[in-house]
Amino acid sequence: MSSKRDIYKLLVLIAVLSVTFFGLGCVDSSPKENASVEENGSGTSLAGDAAVLKVFHAGSLSVPFEELENEFEARNPGVDVQRESAGSAKSVRKITELGKNADILASADYNLIPSMMMPEYADWYAAFARNQIVIAYTNESMYSDEINADNWYEILMRPGVRYGFSNPNDDPCGYRTQMVTQLAEFYYDDSQIYDDLILDLTGMTVTEENETFMVHVPASEALLVPDSNKTIMLRSMEVELSSALEMGEIDYFYIYRSVAVQHGFEFVELPAEIDLSSIEYADNYKLVQVEMANGDVVTGTPIVYGITIPTNAENPELATEFVKLLLEEPGQQIFIENGQPPIVPAFADGKESMPEELQALVQ
């Protein structure tokens, strides 16, 4: 008798759950259907049937591009901006190797556009914003009241101070950390900086050839030497270190300025000669290279964001509008707020191939 009642209870429970979820499903999907009808309706007047703007961009551009998307959609009702965020090289390969169509490509390394896309998939690019490596901290960090651009490496070396960076094998921010610290040896004229901060605590090795320093990164499992876990915190991705700083697990970490700003961290701005921020010092940055465990070699380059409209764009007019918004005042403002200072006017290569409205906005 009671087991029969239990079965009824179970059936009723399942029924209630399924009704709830189907109900939610309907509520969730119906406004979308309405919205897409509206989009198609007003989209026809603006740009035919194709009112979708496809944007491939680097992961570190997610926050500003989301704001740009909102701004752009507000100005162009009926247009749906679809963003796909991935590593910069991967975003380019989606176009060049997988044959996907994108109306806009924005890369965290402007160099990828000339080296991987031009001339077949792109005719021009504009370098529109910068980023840089900073040392982020909070007011709780040890010696946070003393740190500045002249003594940051001494403070990191002090006993008890813990700092972090991301795995150079997995994350560009990680290999850029190696470059910045190595460049610091030249700038501060102290050949012990890299040794004390990183080399002695990790499995990394350095070789020198024709004035160029190459950092060799071992396989990830051999990166830390025993007991260095008390000083260094290494994680696969920079995001995990942000939370470690918030909880006081580390005192400092190497990170992009944009991430530090977006998280509200305090940070030390390093000299432009070493922080990979400026095209001016590109020759300086070239002096350091990092060889990753898989054999890939990366050379120090400025962290400058580049954008282009690929030649296979399905919607070049809308894409031009988007790039214009990005290069003009509203776009600049968005990048300033997110800690990625815009380059004004943007620096362009292949200017004569650019859409005319954009030529006036670049150098």
Partner 1 sequence: MKATIRRKINIEPLTFVFSLLLLLLFFFIFVTLANMIFGQVLNDFSGLVNTAKNSSVMSSIFLSLYAGFLATLIALFLGAPAGYILARFDFPGKSLVESIIDVPVVVPHTVAGIALLTVFGSRGLLGGPLEPYIQFRDALPGIVVAMLFVSVPYLANSAREGFKSVNPRLENAARSLGAPLWKAFFFVTLPLSARHLMVGAVMTWARAISEFGAVVMIAYYPMIGPTLIYDRFLSYGLSASRPIAVLMILISLTIFIVIRILSAGWSIYDRD
Give me the residues that bind partner 1 (CB under 8 A), please: 162, 167, 169-170, 219-224, 229-230, 233-236, 240, 243-244, 247-249, 292-294
Cα–Cα distances in Å, from 43 out to 21, 33, 50, 80, 276?
Answer: 33, 15, 8, 9, 42
Work out how close the CB of 171 gets to partner 1 at its nearest, in angstroms, rounded to a whole number: 8
Alpha helices (H) in 228-312, listed in sequence order: 238-246, 257-263, 282-285
Q: Which is nearer to partner 1, 31 or 160 (CB)?
A: 160
Q: Tell me the C-alpha distance between 109 and 311, whole Å.
A: 19
* DSSP character at residue 113: I
275 and 285 Cβ atoms separated by less than 8 Å: no
Work out how close the CB of 98 gets to partner 1 at its nearest, in angstroms, rounded to a whole number: 15
Work out how close the CB of 101 gets to partner 1 at its nearest, in angstroms, rounded to a whole number: 25
Work out how close the CB of 244 gets to partner 1 at its nearest, in angstroms, rounded to a whole number: 7
Alpha helices (H) in the chain, listed in sequence order: 2-47, 62-75, 88-96, 112, 152-157, 172-187, 193-197, 238-246, 257-263, 282-285, 316-327, 329-337, 356-359
Work out how close the CB of 140 gets to partner 1 at its nearest, in angstroms, rounded to a whole number: 9
**SS3 of the chain: helix, strand, coil, percent, to 5:** 45, 20, 35
Q: Which is nearer to partner 1, 249 or 337 (CB)?
A: 249
Q: Tell me the C-alpha distance between 326 and 349, whole Å.
A: 17
Q: Which is nearer to partner 1, 31 or 295 (CB)?
A: 295
Work out how close the CB of 294 gets to partner 1 at its nearest, in angstroms, rounded to a whole number: 5
Residue 212, strand partner residues: 209
250 and 164 Cβ atoms separated by less than 8 Å: yes
Q: How many residues does the chain have?
A: 363
Work out how close the CB of 187 gets to partner 1 at its nearest, in angstroms, rounded to a whole number: 30
Work out how close the CB of 248 gets to partner 1 at its nearest, in angstroms, rounded to a whole number: 4
Q: Which is nearer to partner 1, 210 or 294 (CB)?
A: 294
Q: Which is nearer to partner 1, 166 or 340 (CB)?
A: 166
Residue with tokens 């070239």: 286
Q: Which is nearer to partner 1, 236 or 312 (CB)?
A: 236
Q: Which is nearer to partner 1, 55 or 292 (CB)?
A: 292
- What residues have CB less than 8 Å from 74, skipping those under 6 apart? none
68 and 335 Cβ atoms separated by less than 8 Å: no
Q: Which is nearer to partner 1, 183 or 293 (CB)?
A: 293
CA proximity to 340, closest of 292, 303, 285, 293 = 303
Work out how close the CB of 166 gets to partner 1 at its nearest, in angstroms, rounded to a whole number: 10
103 and 55 Cβ atoms separated by less than 8 Å: yes
Bond before 119 cis per omega within 30 degrees: yes
Q: Which is nearer to partner 1, 108 or 326 (CB)?
A: 108
